[in-house]
Amino acid sequence: MSSIHKNLNYPDNQRGWVLVVGLVILVMLTILSMALMKTTRLEEKMAGATRDMNLSFQAAESALRATETFIELQTVESFFDTTDMLYGIYNQTDDEPENLFTEVWDDENSKAVFADVAGALQGVTLSPRYMIKKLEKIDDATVFRVTVRGTGGTNNRATLLRSHYAKVFGADSSGPEGRLSWEQLFPSQ
pTM summary value: 0.75
Q: Select the more confidently predicted residue: 21 or 87.
A: 21
CA within 13 Å, CB half, 60:
26
Interatomic CA distance for residues 111 and 113, integer angstroms: 7
DSSP H/E element including 164? strand 158-168
Q: Select the more confidently predicted residue: 20 or 173.
A: 20
pLDDT of amino acid 67: 92
Interatomic CA distance for residues 69 and 66, integer angstroms: 5
Q: Select the more confidently predicted residue: 144 or 173.
A: 144
The answer on pLDDT for 175 being more than 70 is no
pLDDT of amino acid 189: 43
Count of C-beta atoms within a 10 Å radius of residue 157: 18
Which one of 118-132, 152-166, 173-187 scores highest in mean pLDDT? Answer: 152-166
**Contacts with 86 (C-beta within 8 Å, 6 or more apart), sequence order:** 111
For 74-106, the pLDDT digits (tens) are: 888 888 888 887 888 888 888 888 888 888 888
Q: Which of these, 163, 111, 159, lies nearest to 135 by C-alpha position?
A: 163
pLDDT of amino acid 132: 93
The answer on pLDDT for 43 being more than 90 is yes
Q: Looking at residues 41-48, what average pLDDT do you find?
A: 92
How many helices (H) and strands (E) the chain has is answered by: 2, 6
